[in-house]
Each structure stands twice: as structure tokens, then as C-alpha cells.
């Protein structure tokens, strides 16, 4: 059971009525607390409204345009640089290809020139070889024929009373254009001594077969006192290596060599060593 209230001191006769109790807080304090409470409630209301709005609408991500624009600019710049580098590479390759083509063309021209010079040297060497072989064959022929003809060198040379220099020269001119062949004795190919021998045979003069012996026949005459029909020789008397016949006007006719054949030539171009006269 409840304990009875024991009065402590005198009390107002209205103390038990609430509306007659004195307020324990001052008005300013109460107002301040009301304002704080109102501010908190307002914040909560705004937050609640914002949360409701976010819950009602879907959340989307917003791209930052400045960042995208900067990236795109960098990409464009990088692409342009790559294009410029590629163009530079193409140009460099084109220049290299052009230089290579030019070098190849020059090398081809140099090779052609080298081949041409090589052919010229080869031809010159071949001609020199042929000339040497011709000289060796001629020397051998002279040695062989000279052994049998020496005994009758001067004794068989006689000019008949009806001998004619004109006949000798006419025969010689008729052979111009014939070939030169070492050891040949006509009628379309001759060597130098066989042509001279055949020409003088037309007028009954028998000459030795080889050049060195033909240089020993007849009468020796000075080169300054030549007459048509005189036999010219090249080399020492008795060992001459070539002969021809003087036909006047500083010219002579001979079977020269394989490249010329039987021709008329000027003494000034190939002066003879000496001359003999048999007519």
C-alpha cells in the first residue's frame, strides 16, 4: 500500500494545480531550443525529399566534356603525327628507290663500257697474235725456200729483149683486190713474193720465190732514183721480209697483209729499205 504524503512545510493552496506552477526555464532558452529543433527537422525533411527524388529517378553518369575534348585532341594530334611520319617514310623510301635505280643504271652503263673495252683489247690481242703468227710463218717459209733457191739467185735473172715494164704493171694492177694468203701463188690469192714473181714471169723474167732472195737480184738502185718496175724491199738486203713493185708517183703495189690483200700504197706511209732493177 502507498505511504501517506507527509507535508514538509506550508504549501500554497494552489500548488497542486499545473497551470499555476512556475516555469523552470527562461523563454530565450526555450526559443533557442525550438529553433534548433526546427532546423534539424528542416534538414531531415530536405534530405528525405532528396532521397525520395533520387529513388524516383534513375541515376545516370554524366561525362565530363572538357576531359573528352582533351583526349580527342590528343588522339587527333597523334594521328596527324603518325600520318606525317608515314609520309616522310614513303618519301625517304622513294628517294632510296630512285637512288638505287640510278646506281643500277650507272652500273649497267659501266659494265657495258667495260665489256666494250675488253672486246677492243681482245681484238687487238688477236690481231697482234695473228700478225706474229704470220711473221713466224713467213720466216719459216723463207728459210725453207731460200735453201733451194740461193744457188740460182742471180744466174736465172735475165731480161728478154722484148720485156715490157708496162706488162708487169698491168698484170699487177689486175690483181688488186685479191686476197693475201701466206704461201699462196695465185690466181686469186698471193703472198708478197709470189705476186712479184708472177708479175715478172709475164715478161720472161724468172725470179726467186722468197723476198730475201728477190732483194739480191738485178742491180741495186738508189731510192732517190726509182723507176717504174723497180722491185722494192723492206729489211736488210739478202734478208728482206717484204717486197713490192714501184708503179710511179711515189706509189707501189704489193700483197700487203691478210687485212688489206693486194693494194696500191704510198711510199711515204711505209718507206722501203732499198730497191733493185731487173728490167
Per DSSP bridges, beta strands 274-277 and 231-234 are antiparallel
Question: If you classify domain 154-277 with CATH, what class do you get?
Answer: alpha beta
Could you tell me how far CA 220 lies from the centroid of its own chain?
Answer: 62
> How would you write the pLDDT of the chain (279 residues) with one tens digit per residue?
455 555 544 555 555 555 445 555 554 554 445 454 455 444 444 444 444 444 445 555 555 555 556 677 777 778 888 888 888 888 889 888 888 888 888 888 888 888 888 888 888 888 777 767 766 665 555 455 444 444 434 444 444 434 589 999 999 999 999 999 999 999 999 999 999 999 999 999 999 999 999 999 999 999 999 999 999 999 999 999 999 999 999 999 999 999 999 999 999 999 999 999 999
- The CA–CA distances, whole Å, from 114 to 103, 104, 205 equal 16, 15, 55
pLDDT of residue 197: 97
User: Domain spans of the chain?
Assistant: 154-277
- Tell me if residue 185 falls in helix, strand or coil: strand
Cβ atoms of 261 and 230 within 8 Å: the answer is no
Residue matched to cell numbers 632510296: 96
Distances in Å between the Cα of 264 and the Cα atoms of 168, 211, 276 are 14, 18, 19
Amino acid at each position: 500500500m502507498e505511504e501517506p504524503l507527509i507535508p514538509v512545510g506550508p504549501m500554497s493552496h494552489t500548488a497542486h494545480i499545473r497551470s499555476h506552477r512556475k516555469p523552470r526555464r527562461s523563454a530565450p532558452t526555450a526559443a533557442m531550443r525550438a529553433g534548433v529543433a526546427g532546423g534539424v527537422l528542416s534538414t531531415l525533411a530536405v534530405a528525405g525529399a532528396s532521397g525520395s527524388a533520387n529513388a524516383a529517378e534513375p541515376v545516370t553518369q554524366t561525362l565530363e566534356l572538357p576531359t573528352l575534348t582533351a583526349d580527342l585532341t590528343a588522339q587527333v594530334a597523334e594521328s596527324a603525327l603518325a600520318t606525317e611520319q608515314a609520309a616522310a617514310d614513303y618519301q625517304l623510301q622513294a628517294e632510296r628507290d630512285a637512288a638505287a635505280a640510278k646506281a643500277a643504271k650507272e652500273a649497267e652503263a659501266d659494265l657495258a663500257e667495260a665489256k666494250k673495252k675488253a672486246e677492243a683489247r681482245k681484238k687487238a690481242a688477236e690481231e697482234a697474235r695473228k700478225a706474229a703468227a704470220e711473221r713466224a710463218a713467213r720466216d719459216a717459209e723463207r728459210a725453207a725456200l731460200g735453201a733451194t733457191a740461193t744457188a740460182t739467185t742471180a744466174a736465172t735473172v735475165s731480161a728478154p729483149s722484148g720485156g715490157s715494164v708496162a706488162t708487169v704493171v698491168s698484170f699487177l694492177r689486175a690483181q688488186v683486190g685479191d686476197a693475201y694468203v701466206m704461201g699462196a701463188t695465185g690466181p686469186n690469192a698471193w703472198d708478197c713474193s709470189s705476186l712479184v714473181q708472177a708479175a715478172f714471169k709475164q715478161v720472161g723474167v724468172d725470179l726467186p720465190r722468197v723476198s730475201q732472195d728477190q732483194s739480191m737480184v738485178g742491180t741495186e738502185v738508189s731510192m732517190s732514183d726509182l723507176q717504174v718496175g723497180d722491185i722494192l724491199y723492206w729489211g736488210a738486203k739478202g734478208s728482206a721480209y717484204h717486197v713490192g713493185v714501184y708503179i710511179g708517183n711515189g706509189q707501189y703495189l704489193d700483197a700487203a697483209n691478210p687485212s688489206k690483200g693486194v693494194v696500191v700504197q704510198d711510199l711515204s706511209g711505209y718507206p722501203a729499205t732499198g730497191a733493185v732493177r731487173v728490167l
